[in-house]
């Protein structure tokens, strides 16, 4: 008997980057010898200020937190120059994405997204009976960057939501403010979602200010990356109050607990941690780019402004799954493009930028493949 709705008959789930323990056990490699380059986490761990605040907040763990995450909303609003009623907090940005799909698109209606893109967009759309439209034609195969004109052409009167990811995932490429504005202005009848999960690694402030200019735009951010709080689960969106009000109505009421509240508020004051992380990632990005020059069967796809990049396999006799498995045997975890991103075939892998020693391991392991 199948009780779930028909769209959930053979559900497809998100494929996360593999954990260290799994690889250590399967290949008998010591965890210290493993490079985890498939989940774009922070090499320095959590913000120390957030850790201290979470430890203190344990004392209030028996109390329900504000259902709108009010103290955090206030802090986010103050930090970015908005009002608290323009902020929606989620258990990770992922939850905010789920709420957006539910609130701004009816079953059977269309959601436009780049192809390839962060898979959560289409997985949640399908699970909720909405129709994801992946604009594969808008991805340039040489740079893997998005062709903005082609993406704008893909917007139709039937489009209800338009996703834009900047820096993009999986390519890491960066879009100019003028191009983002062009997309937003081409879809006045839809909700445009600007996902800035990796914005810190661009080295600039990003485009969160655009939510002041457009009543049909929501800008999303996460605490999982530069703040190092992927395991705490915290993300947020900034938009016009009417958009936030709709999202509050579909939000599971107490989605943010006391520990998340405290950690998020403290992390926003931890400039030192963010700056150290960003400086390291930008340094390592240049470093690994130079190291790739020595490889002749693999190409680092240029242009990443993020903490990951695409590797293209130039040797036609090997595929991404084979390379993925070969790297695992050598203690290096990455993402197999053919498994992790719809529309990326057997030619690509996505690898994190991390400390130089891990970049050395990645390059050495690629060079060592048969
Ligand atoms: C493009 C993009 N957006 C959003 C997220 C969601 O992050 P979280 O749910 O951890 O806040 C991720 C995580 O990998 C991502 O790659």
Q: How is 241-257 classified by DSSP, letter by letter? A: HHHHHHHHHHS-TT-S-
Residues 157 and 199 in one domain: yes
Give the H or E element holding residue 368: helix 356-368
Question: Could you tell me if residue 21 is inside a domain?
Answer: yes
Question: Could you tell me if residue 214 is inside a domain?
Answer: yes
Question: Could you tell me if residue 3 is inside a domain?
Answer: no
Residues 236 and 91 in one domain: yes
C-beta of 165 in contact with ligand 1 (< 6 A): yes
> Rg of the chain over CA atoms, in angstroms?
20
Residues 233 and 345 in one domain: no
Question: Residue 278: which residues within 8 A CB-CB, separation 6 or more?
Answer: 200, 201, 203, 226
Q: pLDDT value at position 10?
A: 87
Distance 316 CA to ligand 1 centre (A): 32
Residue 68 is given by DSSP the state T
Residues 104 and 194 in one domain: yes
Residue with tokens 């695409």: 310
DSSP tally for the chain: helices H, then strands E? 13, 13
From 15, 99, 120, mutation site for ligand 1 pocket: most ligand atoms within 8 A of C-beta: 120
Q: pLDDT value at position 122?
A: 97
Distance 26 CA to ligand 1 centre (A): 27
Residues 313 and 183 in one domain: no
Q: Which 3 state secondary structure label does DSSP give 165?
A: strand
Whose CA is closest to 328, among 36, 43, 40?
36
Question: Could you tell me if residue 92 is inside a domain?
Answer: yes
CA 309 from chain centre, in angstroms, equals 13
C-beta of 93 in contact with ligand 1 (< 6 A): yes
**Two tokens, residue 253:** 């009421």
C-beta of 38 in contact with ligand 1 (< 6 A): no
Question: Could you tell me if residue 10 is inside a domain?
Answer: no
Q: Which of these three, 235, 269, 303, is where a domain ends?
A: 269
In ligand 1, which atom is closest to the CA atom of 118? Answer: 1
Q: What are phi and psi of 253, to 5 degrees?
A: -50, -60
- pLDDT, one tens digit for every residue, the chain (370 residues): 678 888 888 889 998 899 999 999 999 999 999 999 999 999 999 999 999 999 999 999 999 999 999 999 999 999 999 999 999 999 999 999 999 999 999 999 999 999 999 999 999 999 999 999 999 998 988 889 999 999 999 999 999 999 999 999 999 999 999 999 999 999 999 999 999 999 999 999 999 999 999 999 999 999 999 999 999 999 999 999 999 999 999 999 999 999 999 999 999 999 999 999 999 999 999 999 999 999 999 999 999 999 999 999 999 999 999 999 999 999 999 999 999 999 998 999 999 999 999 999 999 999 999 9
Strand 308-313 vs strand 298-300: parallel, antiparallel, or unpaired? antiparallel
- Do 208 and 28 contact (CB within 8 A), yes or no? no
Residues 219 and 283 in one domain: no
In ligand 1, which atom is closest to the CA atom of 168? Answer: 1
Query: Does the predicted model carry a pTM greater than 0.95?
Result: yes
C-beta of 119 in contact with ligand 1 (< 6 A): no
Alpha-carbon distance of 268 to 258, in angstroms, equals 16
Q: Which of these three, 236, 269, 302, is where a domain ends?
A: 269
Alpha-carbon distance of 226 to 41, in angstroms, equals 8
Q: How is 125-161 classified by DSSP, letter by letter? A: HHHTT-EEEEEGGGB-TTT--B-HHHHHHT--TTEEE
Residues 134 and 245 in one domain: yes
Distance 275 CA to ligand 1 centre (A): 20
Q: Which residues pair with 82 in a beta bridge?
A: none
C-beta of 196 in contact with ligand 1 (< 6 A): no
What domain range includes position 228?
A: 49-269
Q: Which residues pair with 299 in a beta bridge?
A: 312
C-beta of 306 in contact with ligand 1 (< 6 A): no
How many domains, the chain?
Answer: 2
C-beta of 307 in contact with ligand 1 (< 6 A): no
Q: Which residues pair with 132 in a beta bridge?
A: 111
C-beta of 82 in contact with ligand 1 (< 6 A): no
Alpha-carbon distance of 204 to 208, in angstroms, equals 11
What is the phi-psi region of residue 292: left when phi exceeds 0, alpha when psi lies from -120 to 50, beta otherwise? alpha
Residues 41 and 70 in one domain: no
From 42, 168, 169, 351, mutation site for ligand 1 pocket: most ligand atoms within 8 A of C-beta: 169
Residues 98 and 26 in one domain: no
Q: For the chain, percent helix, then strand, then coil, each to nearest 5?
A: 40, 15, 40
Q: What is the CATH number of the domain that holds 262?
A: 3.40.640.10
Residues 102 and 247 in one domain: yes
In ligand 1, which atom is closest to the CA atom of 97? Answer: 4
Question: Could you tell me if residue 356 is inside a domain?
Answer: yes
Alpha-carbon distance of 209 to 186, in angstroms, equals 19
Whose CA is closest to 172, among 288, 261, 68?
288
Q: Which of these three, 269, 303, 321, is where a domain ends?
A: 269
Question: Could you tell me if residue 1 is inside a domain?
Answer: no
Residues 175 and 279 in one domain: no
C-beta of 41 in contact with ligand 1 (< 6 A): no
Give the burial class of 107: count Cβ atoms within 10 A of its Cβ; 0-12 exposed, 13-18 middle, 19 or more buried: exposed
C-beta of 235 in contact with ligand 1 (< 6 A): yes
C-beta of 169 in contact with ligand 1 (< 6 A): yes
C-beta of 171 in contact with ligand 1 (< 6 A): no
Q: Mutual orientation of helices 70-80 and 258-267 as an angle, nearest 10°?
A: 20
Residues 304 and 342 in one domain: yes
C-beta of 77 in contact with ligand 1 (< 6 A): no
C-beta of 197 in contact with ligand 1 (< 6 A): yes
Q: What is the CATH number of the domain that holds 40?
A: 3.90.1150.10
In ligand 1, which atom is closest to the CA atom of 234? Answer: 11
Question: Could you tell me if residue 336 is inside a domain?
Answer: yes
C-beta of 92 in contact with ligand 1 (< 6 A): yes
Whose CA is closest to 172, among 208, 211, 134, 203?
203
């Amino acid at each position: 008997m199948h009780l779930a709705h028909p769209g959930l008959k053979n559900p497809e789930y998100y494929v996360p980057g593999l954990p260290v323990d799994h690889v250590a056990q399967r290949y008998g490699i010591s965890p210290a010898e493993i490079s985890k380059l498939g989940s774009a986490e922070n090499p320095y761990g959590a913000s120390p200020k957030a850790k201290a605040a979470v430890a203190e907040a344990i004392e209030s763990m028996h109390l329900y937190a504000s259902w709108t995450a009010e103290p955090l909303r206030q802090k986010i609003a103050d930090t970015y120059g908005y009002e608290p009623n323009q902020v929606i907090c989620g258990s990770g940005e992922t939850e905010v994405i789920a709420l957006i799909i539910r609130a701004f698109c009816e079953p059977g209606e269309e959601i436009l997204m780049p192809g390839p893109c962060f898979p959560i967009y289409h997985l949640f759309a399908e699970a909720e009976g909405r129709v994801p439209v992946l604009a594969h034609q808008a991805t340039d195969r040489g740079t893997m960057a998005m062709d903005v004109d082609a993406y704008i052409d893909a917007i139709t009167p039937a489009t209800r939501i338009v996703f834009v990811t900047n820096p993009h995932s999986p390519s890491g490429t960066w879009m100019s403010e003028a191009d983002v504005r062009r997309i937003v202005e081409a879809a006045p009848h839809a909700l445009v979602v600007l996902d800035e999960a990796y914005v810190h690694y661009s080295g600039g402030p990003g485009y969160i200010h655009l939510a002041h200019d457009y009543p049909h735009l929501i800008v999303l951010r996460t605490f999982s990356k530069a703040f190092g709080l992927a395991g705490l689960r915290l993300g947020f969106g900034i938009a016009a109050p009417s958009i936030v009000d709709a999202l509050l109505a579909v939000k599971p009421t107490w989605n943010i607990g006391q520990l998340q509240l405290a950690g998020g508020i403290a992390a926003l004051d931890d400039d030192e941690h963010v700056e150290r992380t960003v400086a390291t990632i930008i340094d390592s990005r240049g470093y690994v780019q130079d190291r790739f020059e020595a490889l002749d069967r693999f190409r680092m796809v240029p242009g990443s402004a993020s903490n990951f990049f695409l590797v293209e396999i130039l040797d036609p006799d090997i595929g991404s799954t084979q390379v993925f498995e070969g790297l695992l045997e050598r203690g290096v975890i990455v993402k197999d493009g053919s498994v992790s991103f719809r529309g990326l075939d057997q030619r690509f892998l996505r690898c994190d930028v991390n400390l130089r020693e891990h970049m050395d391991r990645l390059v050495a392991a690629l060079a060592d493949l048969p």
